[in-house]
Structure 1
Amino acid sequence: MPVRRLLVFGLLLLAAPFAQANGVDDLEAFYDRVDTLTADFEQRQIDDRGNVMQRASGIFVLSRPDRFRWAYQDPYEQIIVSDGNVFRFYDVDLAQVTVRDIDATLRATPALLLTGGAALEDAFNISAAGNRDGMSWVRLTPRADDTDFEEVRLGLDDQVPAVMELQDSLGQTTRIRFSNVEINPAIDDDRFTLDIPDDVEVVDGRGMNGGGRR
């Protein structure tokens, strides 16, 4: 190989690490270009020894800002819906719906962090976490003390979230992998509402006094 070609090749190798994607920049690009999103997800809960404790799967529907539907379909059915103001959690097996305002604590949940907005930096400390498995990564640590996890790691592929890893205080990790992602599809508003059957108990946790039951 001629000396000049060797020199150019060597310079390209030296430049490659600096050309790698930055996770924070990719996350900002995602927020800039994505208004709606639909995806399938697979979730695994892994203990501190790497053993898989639980598996689940379902669908995720997002409409920024602050609206989403996170629906577990297998092995159990649970639906988590935000209409931008109210957060509803429906456990089908328990026949119970819990209703809460979207406060600062709920803004630090995994689904809501994908909605972005000004509240994201209020809820999380955000930093780049390098490149791994062909993805750029972001590390998000909740500012609030009363969350269920200590750290979230978000892997982006082509500026779209592909993997989310949630680390709790017990050393357990919940790993969520997204697939069949569709960017900016038309989504009906009724995807962000919840039809509650009459025989389902509703626990309303909104307001200063903790709400009540239906």
Structure 2
Amino acid sequence: MQGFKNDKRREVKSFLQIFVGFFALHFVSFGVALGFGEDIRTLKADFIQKTLSQENTLIYSGTLLAKAPAKAKWIYEKPTPKEIYINGKKTTIYEPFLEQVSIGSAKSKIDFLQILRQAKLQKDGKYHSVYEDIDYALTLQGGKPQKLEFSDEFDNAVEIVFERVRINEAIDDREFDFAIPPNVDIIRQ
């Protein structure tokens, strides 16, 4: 059971890293490249996430909804359904196949301003920012986020490709609220 809890903690931390990196670099890159980053309030996109470890490659796909300052909803459709809700410090992961909900929280609210101050356009054409010892790199295409890359604390290479990116479409705050279904196990971290 202890190993399972550690896996869940790593999973929550990994999703927080993705969320932090995406939001930080998304706002920075638009602000620097296009001059309207402060006006970006929401983002909707489909995504394909590849996580490469020494042992294997995992490929996920789904939909992302994000709203400033600290809300995100990742709906994983493949290979197995999963929903991740981030609302401020609170993180909720729902895995229907396992009939399980994991609820956790970050130690502190994410400091986007610190990340914004650090992100810089590099010679490789990507925007880089280091947050909590993780180097995030964002590639733009047509002025929109196209790919986010980083290595997590376990030396897994993570690449997220965004498709059908929509900016500043209305997103109701209720999208980020999760109602725990009946008859599921609840794991509090």
Q: Same fold per TM (> 0.5)?
A: yes
Identify the structure with the greater helix proportion.
Answer: 2
Question: Which stretch of the first structure deviates more once superposed, 155-164 or 54-63?
Answer: 155-164
Gaps of 5+ in 1: 1-22, 108-118, 145-149, 206-214
Gaps of 5+ in 2: 1-25
Structure of larger gyration radius: 1
1:151 is matched with which residue? 135
The alignment covers a number of residue pairs equal to 161
Distance (Å, rounded) in 2 between the aligned partners of 1:201 and 1:52: 29
Structure 1 pair 83/187, CA: closer, same or farther in 2 (3 Å)? same
Two-structure CA RMSD over aligned residues (Å): 2.9
Q: Cα distance, 1:181 vs. partner?
A: 0.7
Counterpart amino acid of 1:71?
A: I
Q: 2:50 aligns with which of 44, 55, 60?
A: 44
2:82 is matched with which residue? 78
Structure 1 pair 64/72, CA: closer, same or farther in 2 (3 Å)? same
Equivalent runs, 1:53-202 vs 2, <5 Å: 53-104=57-108, 107=110, 119-122=111-114, 126-130=118-122, 132=124, 136-143=125-132, 150-169=134-153, 171-202=155-186
Q: Cα distance, 1:70 vs. partner?
A: 0.8
Distance (Å, rounded) in 2 between the aligned partners of 1:35 and 1:163: 19
Alignment TM-score, normalising by the size of structure 1: 0.64
Percent sequence identity over matched residues?
23
CA deviation profile, 1:62-113 (whole Å, cap 9, x unmatched): 1111111011110111111123352211122222212223433x73xxxxxx
Alignment TM-score, normalising by the size of structure 2: 0.71
SS in 2 for 1:93: helix
